[in-house]
Amino acid sequence: MADPIRILLVEDSESDALLLVRRLKTDGFGPDWERVEDAPAFRAALLRGGWDLILADYALPLFSGMEALRIFSESGLEIPFIIVSGTIGEDDAIEAMKAGAADYFMKDRLARLAPSIRQALAASCARREKKRTDEALRESLLNWSRTFEAITDSICLLDAEGRMLQCNGAHLRFLGKSGGDVIGQPCYALVHGTDRFQPHCPFQRMLKSRAHEEEEIASGDKWLYVAVDPILDENGKLRGAVHIMADITQRKRAEEAVKASLAEKEVLLREIHHRVKNNMQVMISLLNLQAQAIREPAVVSLLKESQNRIRTMAIVHEKLYRSSDLSSVDFSDYIGSLSVHLFQFFSVEPNRIRLRQETEAISLDISNAIPCGLILNELISNSLKYAFPNGRSGEITVGFHRRPDALLEIFVRDNGVGLPAGLDFRQTQSLGLQLVNLLAGQIDGTLEMHGEGGVEFRVIFPELKPKPRA
């Protein structure tokens, strides 16, 4: 199959032009050609474009190959221009080649025509590709340079010894120097004014780790963030590093302000928890004074139960006061404290009623901790008061854990005498069980009771995640 080619012939002789075309067809080309013989026609043909090759006679009556070559050079086209002549001398041929001709040959040696064209076309294609590549490279470098200079952080490229290879304008402004003063200088001399690397220098650490290193450094009244990333060759050998430095003074000041504000809030919140606990202690003391003035045992008992409920809430605030985050309580630890208090309050003999604790270390938000504490207070108190009458011995188990379905569960189980037959724990007149039902609903929980070999109450409820501290 013939190779298609569009040829512009600068030739005054139609017969010579046909001779060239026949020769091209014989040599495997499929030429689409046009003949011109003066400068205006040549310029018009160049403007139309689309040519793969120009073949120009050296000597024409109205024109010349050298003038055509000059016009062609001014056009900026990247296609081969070949001189064809029957009379060209060696000096003229050399002059044409210097002026930009791809080749020349004599009309009586057309055997060289096809190889010359193919070579010229290949060279022209290579030049165009190189030009495109060079332009793309220049554009890429220009874009990189613009980006490099537009970045407001200080950026520099270092060699493997820490010497400055290149830096952007922001880094020059930071150093207060010009480019000629920094290139080739060690970074420690420029930045720190020393003759060696500083102990906190991330570049030093990067030399050992061959990985990203960073540091926040105080410099006078400023804070600087410094990051160093290695530049490795294809064999993993260290060739240098990218050194980035940002002024984070405003961020550090904002962080310090937030820390100071948070510290003030913590102090205030601790004081609130402490005062709430103290106020509850005052309420307990007032109820105790009131109980001393009353002779009816049933009323005194009610006052004591109210004291325990207040103390149950006071323990939560005491735990929060001593907690590190002030918003949640280690409820396992809380259960231990509450159980000990209730056993002491009811003067339980340790050898008669034993306490078992089956709990996980799970923290509860105060919104759940107080209702759960009150629930445990009622359930443990009921077991201590009613499960072991007439000196009967036994065991109370208090549990708290996370279930496989991600819900939380608290339970109180005893092996005492159990509840009276036919008692509906949801409709009971007992204030304690009424409170348990109400509090279970408050935390979106469900209350279950099991009555084999004693009694067991379980409250299953969703976990309320502690709110993040602001």
Place of tokens 């530049």: 231
Rounded to whole angstroms, the Cα distance separating 269 from 70 reads 90
Residue in 204, 246, 197 with CA at minimum distance from that of residue 226: 246
- Looking at residue 469, its pLDDT comes to 46
- Looking at residue 127, its pLDDT comes to 81
Residue 226 bridge partners (DSSP) = 215, 245
Rounded to whole angstroms, the Cα distance separating 381 from 353 reads 13
Rounded to whole angstroms, the Cα distance separating 459 from 465 reads 18
Q: Is the pLDDT of residue 291 over 70?
A: yes
Q: C-alpha angle with apex 395: 393 to 396, nearest 5 degrees?
A: 135
Q: Which amino acid is at 112?
A: R
Q: Which residue has the higher pLDDT, 428 or 153?
A: 153
- Looking at residue 326, its pLDDT comes to 66
Order across the sheet with 353-359: list the strands.
Answer: 353-359, 394-402, 408-414, 455-461, 446-450
Structure tokens at 62: 């109205």
- Looking at residue 119, its pLDDT comes to 84
Residue in 451, 343, 331, 354 with CA at minimum distance from that of residue 400: 331
Give percent of the chain with pLDDT exceeding 90. 19
Rounded to whole angstroms, the Cα distance separating 93 from 110 reads 16
Answer whether 6's CB lies under 8 Å from 30's CB: no
For residues 141-164, average pLDDT: 86
- Spatial CB neighbours of 156, under 8 Å, sequence gap ≥ 6: 164, 165, 166, 167, 168, 171, 187, 242, 243
Residue 150 gets the label, from left (phi > 0), alpha (psi -120 to 50) or beta, of alpha
Which range (1-15, 35-49, 64-78, 324-338) has the least confidence? 324-338
Fold of 151-247: Beta-Lactamase (3.30.450)
For residues 105-130, average pLDDT: 80
Rounded to whole angstroms, the Cα distance separating 417 from 423 reads 14
Q: C-alpha angle with apex 449: 435 to 433, nearest 5 degrees?
A: 15
pLDDT band at 269 (very low <50, low <70, confident <90, very high): low
Residue 363 bridge partners (DSSP) = 330
Q: DSSP of 35-71, one letter per residue?
A: EE-SHHHHHHHHHH---SEEEEESB-SS-BHHHHHHH
Residue 446 gets the label, from left (phi > 0), alpha (psi -120 to 50) or beta, of beta
Rounded to whole angstroms, the Cα distance separating 355 from 339 reads 8
Rounded to whole angstroms, the Cα distance separating 117 from 444 reads 90
Answer whether 80's CB lies under 8 Å from 34's CB: no
- Looking at residue 179, its pLDDT comes to 76
Distance of CA 319 to the CA centre of its chain: 37
Give the side-chain half-sphere CA count within 13 A for 396: 29
Domain boundaries, the chain: 3-142, 151-247, 250-326, 328-470
104-113, 321-330, 365-374: which has the highest mean pLDDT?
365-374
CATH code, 3-142: 3.40.50.2300
User: Tell me: domain 328-470, CATH 3.80.10.10, correct?
Assistant: no
Place of tokens 């105790």: 288
pLDDT in tens, 346-404: 888 878 999 999 999 998 888 888 889 889 988 998 899 889 998 899 999 999 999 99
Residue in 192, 322, 203, 343 with CA at minimum distance from that of residue 270: 322
Output the pTM of the full model.
0.47
Give the side-chain half-sphere CA count within 13 A for 284: 16
